[in-house]
Structure 1
Amino acid sequence: MLVLTRRIGERVLIGDDIELTIVEIKGDSVRLGIQAPRETRIQRAEIVAAVESENRAAVQSPAATQDALQRALNGRRDPAAPAD
């Protein structure tokens, strides 16, 4: 891991098309400005980890939960079906 020291307003260039700017330093928090191509996905690591964790939990849900969900879905009326 490369560790750099930067001051407010200073920039870090990543490759040819990504630029990080130190916008604000307040206590132990740093605000970054990120300029990158639109197609570059930028995400906070803790959000990605939380989504991955929730996805794993959903895949491993017990069969009873899946059965209850299926019963609930089967019990729903089709809004396009003719009324009785």
Structure 2
Amino acid sequence: MLVLTRKAAETIRIGDDIVVKVIKTGSGTVKIGIEAPAHIRVMRGELMEEVQPIPSISSVFGPTVRVPSDQFPHVA
């Protein structure tokens, strides 16, 4: 783990696309801003524990089976 000391308005860059900026510090808290591309999910750590993956359709209903329509002509 990299540990850094930053003051208000100073930044940390992660790769080419992510910027973490210290907005405000005081009384045991730090307010930060994070700029990241839309495809990068940014969440507080405690929320990651609550997030459950959404099951896929096949895990709920089983695999999809395609049947040729000529076997069931009465179904449109």
What interval of TM-score do these two structures reach, taking the shorter chain for normalisation? 0.5 to 0.7
Equivalent in the alignment of 2:24 = 24
| Structure 2 gap ranges (5+) | 54-76
- Following TM superposition, where does structure 1 have runs of at least 4 consecutive aligned residues deviating by more than 3 angstroms? none
CA distance in 2, matches of 1:6, 1:38: 25
| Structure 1 gap ranges (5+) | 56-84
Equivalent in the alignment of 2:6 = 6
CA distance in 2, matches of 1:26, 1:15: 28
Does residue 48 (structure 1) correspond to residue 48 (structure 2)? The answer is: yes
> How big is the shift at 1:26?
1.8
Greater helix fraction, Structure 1 or Structure 2: 1
> How big is the shift at 1:51?
3.2
Paired letter, 2:18: I
CA distance in 2, matches of 1:23, 1:35: 12
CA distance in 2, matches of 1:7, 1:28: 14
The count of residues paired between Structure 1 and Structure 2 equals 53
1:41-76 CA distance string (max 9 Å, x none): 001110111335xx8xxxxxxxxxxxxxxxxxxxxx
So what's the TM-score if we normalise by structure 1?
0.59
C-alpha RMSD of the superposition: 1.4
